[in-house]
Amino acid sequence: GENVGLHLPTLSVQEGDNSIINCAYSNSASDYFIWYKQESGKGPQFIIDIRSNMDKRQGQRVTVLLNKTVKHLSLQIAATQPGDSAVYFCAENLGASGYGGSQGNLIFGKGTKLSVKP
């Protein structure tokens, strides 16, 4: 889940399997969601995004699903590879309801560590 303090939840999968990483977001007014991948010692890297008027969006080997009813976001990675091992976290945009106006209103989750076993 999102509130685990110092210890990130970990998902361990076998190479070639599909991975599903979940995220619960906090604000029903959020209108834009992003998934990031962060490898050790590096900055977050954009994977895929989705707007609130959609419930599914597909990229290369990745699919994001959005369930606004329960405020849930998931990232599906097909045919997981060792290079997919990283921390994945979601971000929601609070839009006009956030601080400081419309800019910089992303709220980041704490992340899930994906470990891929060869």
Partner 1 sequence: NAGVTQTPKFRILKIGQSMTLQCTQDMNHNYMYWYRQDPGMGLKLIYYSVGAGITDKGEVPNGYNVSRSTTEDFPLRLELAAPSQTSVYFCASSHGQGAITYNSPLHFGNGTRLTVT
Q: CA angle, corner 21, sides to 49 and 32, nearest 5?
A: 25
Number of residues that bind partner 1 (CB under 8 A): 33
Distance CA 16, CA 82 (A): 9
SS3 of 71, please?
A: coil
Minimum CB distance to partner 1 smaller for 78 or for 106: 106
- Per-residue x/- mask for partner 1, residues 8 to 37, rule CB under 8 A? x----------------------xx-x---
Computed on alpha carbons and rounded to an integer, the radius of gyration of the chain in Å comes to 14
- When asked if residue 44 is in the footprint of partner 1 (CB under 8 A), the reply is yes
42 binds partner 1 (CB under 8 A): yes
**Smallest distance, Å, CB 115 to partner 1?**
16
Whole-angstrom distance, CA of residue 106 vs CA of residue 104: 6
**Of the candidates 93, 112, 114, 116, which one interacts with partner 1 according to CB under 8 A?**
93
The dihedral built from the CA positions of residue 6, 9, 12 and 15, taken in this order, carries a sign that is negative
Point out which residues bind partner 1 (CB under 8 A): 4-8, 31-32, 34, 41-46, 49, 51, 89, 91, 93, 95, 99-111
